[in-house]
Amino acid sequence: MTAGVVGGLGPRPSPSSAGEDHEPIQLQDADIAEVERKLQEAEINPIRRMRSAHFEAIGDANRSFMKSCLTDSEQLAFDYLKHFKARGFDVELPKDRLILVTFNDDRSFGKFFNLPSLMQAGARGVGAQPAGAYDRSTNLLNVFDWRNAPMYSRPANRNAQTLAHEGTHQLTFNTGLLDRAAAPPICVVEGLGTYGEPRKVIGPSDLGRINVPRLDDLAKLRRMVDWIPLTELLVNDALFREGLVARLMLAYAQSWVLIHYLLNSKEWVNKFRDYLQTTGAGESPELRLKEAEDHLGDLDALDRALKDHATKLLRSL
């Protein structure tokens, strides 16, 4: 499972501690009837349903939010396919509709996942709280309406960012870009998620836009913690799950830099495409480094190039 969190450094998507890098993912796609049953068991009501061409939404969210999630998901899918096909990736939407579970607010979201609401978490001193999730095992995307969550500004932007990040995860694992049952480095998984984040609140947004909040994180966090070497980023999934918050957020920022660099350089995009076709065969550090070196070459040289790329992007702002 990957999830969005809110905490000390603001809302940035990050994974749950579900241990997905310790055991093989057990794929059990949830259908709409199963989701409805689970919502009923959690005493979440009223339950509404709505469809679009490629997605189906269910939950207690009001119809305007449900409709906007479907519209945004369709637009994201269109922009995603256009972007990756232009770079030579063989990606296609699945035949069956993908499911979005849309909650009215953080309270019903919390009831479904047995978590406190944002206010309850704050009162308990919880430093980070899930704000959305894509679950690889069930293939469900789960979001709530920030407009009904207390004490948070610019809720429309938060809705757009959360759906874009989690929706990109859902697309990467359902279009042939990544294998849901495999074990790709989390820096690749989350790098792609953050790559999809920067979108306009309304209308089309080309993928590959500069992710200003991630760059801002990078600039600020480098004053507190050292750059994480690429070789560690590729093998240490725990970076995205535990330890210092500053280092966790830096891992996300660097993952975005990695994907942005590889997908927007003629020198690297073909190598990255070949790499994604083979990565995820195992989780051992030795195998992961070999997979990366076989397709991306000298990882220390690539690491230096990533630092230069980040510096150039920061100077361009």
Exposed/middle/buried for residue 45 (C-beta within 10 Å: 0-12, 13-18, 19+): exposed
Quote the pLDDT of residue 47. 98
Compute CA distances 213 → 97, 202, 218, 263, whole Å.
31, 19, 9, 19
Contact 182, 172 (CB under 8 A): no
Contact 124, 1 (CB under 8 A): no
- Print pLDDT tens along the chain (317 aa): 555 544 322 333 333 333 344 456 788 999 999 999 999 999 999 999 999 999 999 999 999 999 999 999 999 999 999 999 999 999 999 999 999 999 999 999 999 998 888 888 777 776 556 778 999 999 999 999 999 987 678 888 899 999 999 999 999 999 999 999 999 999 999 999 999 999 887 778 889 999 999 999 999 999 999 999 999 999 999 999 887 889 999 999 999 999 999 999 989 999 999 999 988 877 899 999 999 999 999 999 999 999 999 999 999 88
Quote the pLDDT of residue 24. 62
Pick the CATH number of 2-316 from 1.10.3720.10, 1.10.390.10, 3.40.50.12500, 1.20.1730.10: 1.10.390.10
Separation CA 5–CA 165 (nearest Å): 12
Compute CA distances 11 → 87, 181, 220, 229, 316, whole Å.
30, 28, 16, 25, 24
| pTM of the shown model | 0.91
Quote the pLDDT of residue 7. 34
Quote the pLDDT of residue 116. 83
Length of the chain as a residue count: 317
- At position 146, the amino acid (one-letter code) is W
Quote the pLDDT of residue 71. 96
Q: Collapsing DSSP states into helix, strand and coil, what is residue 208?
A: coil
Quote the pLDDT of residue 237. 95
